Amino acid sequence: MPSKTKRRWRTFIEKYASSRWFTAIVAFLAAADAFVVFVPTDILLIAAVLARRKRWLAIALWVIVGSAIGAGVFGFLASKYGPAFVNYIFPSLQDTQAWTDSAGIMRKYGFWGLAVISLGPLPQHAAVAFAGVVHLSVVEIFFAVLLGRSIKYILIAWCCVHAPNVLRKLGILKRRSP
């Protein structure tokens, strides 16, 4: 990402992260992430949690549901309109290694494969698109992503809130001197 774009995101996040509506915006962007190449959902989640630490679990749940809804809608559209829709949204995705890997995992493990891919650090676009194209039900897509993202985003949010204290207790992070 160019540095000018990074500065804009940083300014936006710093200015609005503590507002009540920021969590809803992050949840919406998590849903939209199913249709675009890059929305920094993890970074936005971290910013929202750090701005409102006491609400870390609620924030994580909003983002988890947003991500699962986006994946479900994308899977539904991929199922209804087929590979042509996938190619329209993500040109040449079907020619990538991500598609090949996702197809192999999805053929072998189905629902559980999508859940594991959703848990991982890599984008889930190819797996959700493949799940839709092979007509995995929208409910299965939704719950597989809900499961994977629940583990991922709750862990990220928990770490944002609790990691500094844990690191201090282990002696890895020193207390700030006044």
Mean pLDDT of 72-96: 93
Among 158, 160, 157, 130, which Cα is nearest to 144's? Answer: 130
Digit-coded pLDDT (tens) for 103-116:
999 999 999 999 99
Mean pLDDT of 140-160: 96
pTM: 0.84
Can you give the pLDDT at residue 12? Answer: 74
Model confidence band, residue 2 (pLDDT cutoffs 50, 70, 90):
low
| Least confident residue range of 5-14, 34-43, 74-83, 161-170 | 5-14
Report residue 69 as tokens.
Answer: 């809804």
Can you give the pLDDT at residue 113? Answer: 96
Residue 1 has pLDDT above 70, yes or no: no
| Sequence spans of domains, the chain | 3-169
Can you give the pLDDT at residue 156? Answer: 93
Model confidence band, residue 130 (pLDDT cutoffs 50, 70, 90):
very high
Q: Which helix (H) or strand (E) holds 75?
A: helix 56-81
**Average pLDDT for the chain:** 88
DSSP 13-60: HHHHTTSTTHHHHHHHHHHHTTTSS---HHHHHHHHHHHSGGGHHHHH
Q: Which helix (H) or strand (E) holds 99?
A: helix 97-109
